[in-house]
Amino acid sequence: MSLFGIGSSKNKKTFRIKKNSPSSSKGLLLQPRIDSTLGKYGNLREVVVLPQGEDINEWLAINTVDFFNHVSVLYATLTEFCTPETCPKMSAGPKFEYRWADGVTIKKPIEVSAPKYVEYLMDWIEAQLEDESIFPQQIGQPFPPNFQDVVKTILKRLFRVYGHVYHSHYQKILGLEEETHLNTCFQHFVLFTSEFGLIAKEELEPLDELIELVLRS
């Protein structure tokens, strides 16, 4: 299956890609900076740095959309392997298990399979991205006071998908010959979240050795 496929037809709803970044004037200008450097290994450290004179919230917004897209596409290649039977719990190795709650429709964390967790997560993130009171789409529309907290929660939960993929499905990734793309996307994610201190250290523990390699490279 191609990396850029979207999985089986039953997953098209969950793994549709959010193609557009926030459409403010700055957002439209910042996107080419990311596109022109992402994937060029020597530039990954450079691409995460806030461009001089740019608004931090604009930068966080456009990168959050990109990270959502990256994880959506990567996970979509694994939907036939990551099933309720193969992955009855959302985990990142034997010591880390995640339960789902969105604080609205599901207030008390519930145990779900990995694919169900990812489905809930992607639907929840997409709802945040499409809410213009959180991710403004119009020029001059302000970001909410809690915007950076929202971004931190989104990225923390996206990290859990990376944790699950590396611990439970890396052999499948190798079989699909997608390890280079996975590792590049993860490297970008780690460098960006580290640059702005967006994920607490204890949340990163499932992949701490890999993260250390990324940060030292």
What pLDDT is attached to residue 20?
53
Q: For residue 3, is it within any domain?
A: no
Q: Per-residue pLDDT for 46 more than 90?
A: no
Q: For residue 4, is it within any domain?
A: no
Contact 22, 58 (CB under 8 A): yes
Residue with tokens 């030292």: 216
Task: Count CB-CB contacts under 10 A for residue 21.
Answer: 22
User: If 0-12 CB within 10 Å is exposed, 13-18 middle and 19+ buried, where does residue 175 land?
Assistant: exposed
Contact 144, 134 (CB under 8 A): yes
Q: Any idea which of 21-35, 108-122, 203-217 has the lowest mean pLDDT?
A: 21-35
- DSSP string covering 50-65: PPTT--HHHHHHHHHH
Q: Any idea which of 9-23, 66-80, 192-206 has the lowest mean pLDDT?
A: 9-23
What pLDDT is attached to residue 4?
27
Residue ranges making up the domain that contains 184: 9-216
The fraction of the chain above a pLDDT of 90, given in percent, is 72
Q: For residue 174, is it within any domain?
A: yes
Q: What are the residues whose beta carbons fall under 8 Å from the beta carbon of 77, sequence distance 6 or more? A: 1, 2, 3, 5, 7, 173, 176, 178
pLDDT tens for 139-187 read 778 999 999 999 999 999 999 999 999 999 999 999 999 999 999 999 9
**Interatomic CA distance for residues 101 and 76, integer angstroms:** 22
What pLDDT is attached to residue 6?
29
**Interatomic CA distance for residues 147 and 156, integer angstroms:** 14
pLDDT band at 7 (very low <50, low <70, confident <90, very high): very low
What pLDDT is attached to residue 35?
44
Q: What is the mean pLDDT of the chain?
A: 84
**What is the rounded average pLDDT of the residues 118-132?**
95
Q: Nearest-CA neighbor of 71 among 154, 131, 10?
A: 154
Residue with tokens 């699950």: 164
Q: What are the residues whose beta carbons fall under 8 Å from the beta carbon of 194, sequence distance 6 or more? A: 215
Q: Per-residue pLDDT for 14 more than 50?
A: no
Q: For residue 2, is it within any domain?
A: no
CA 114 to the chain's CA centroid: 15
**What is the rounded average pLDDT of the residues 108-130?**
96
pLDDT band at 138 (very low <50, low <70, confident <90, very high): confident
pLDDT band at 114 (very low <50, low <70, confident <90, very high): very high
Task: Count CB-CB contacts under 10 A for residue 70.
Answer: 21
- List the beta strands (DSSP E) in the chain: 90-91, 97-98
69: domain CATH number?
1.20.140.30
What pLDDT is attached to residue 42?
54
Q: How many domains does the chain have?
A: 1
